[in-house]
Amino acid sequence: MQTYPVSREARKGLNPADLSAKISEVFGVSPKNDGETLVVTYLAIKELKIRTDGKSLLVETLMEPKVPEDQQMATIKAYNHFLELATGLTAKERAKKLQAAAKKAAAQ
């Protein structure tokens, strides 16, 4: 499971209804609601589980490795777009925050 930091502005959108709307917008399908977890399947993603703890986005992915390259690229593009909408951070900003958290954890 991957934990993504969320900007303060985007935290108000970390509820199942808003996340479901963002999933539908990006992936073009409505997610299944499995309790606190939203589950979706899209191209090279066999299963994408999304939930939140109120401050972070918790994502678990199960990928299908044997898909055409164009579907792989489309999947990555859609996934990154969803993460940007949900977290309020670009891929570069998310990477910087994750690296800073890893350095902080290593220093302790």
User: Which residues, given as ranges, of the chain have pLDDT below 50?
Assistant: none
Domains held by the chain: number: 1
> What is the reported pLDDT for 55?
87
Residues 6+ apart with CB under 8 A from 77: none
Q: What pTM, to 2 d.p., does this model score?
A: 0.88
- Domain residues for the domain of 14 are 2-107
> What is the reported pLDDT for 68?
94
CATH no. for residue 42? 3.30.310.190
Q: Are 73 and 65 in contact (CB under 8 A)?
A: no
Starting from the edge strand earliest in sequence, which strands make up the sheet with 32-34, in order? 2-5, 56-63, 45-52, 37-42, 32-34
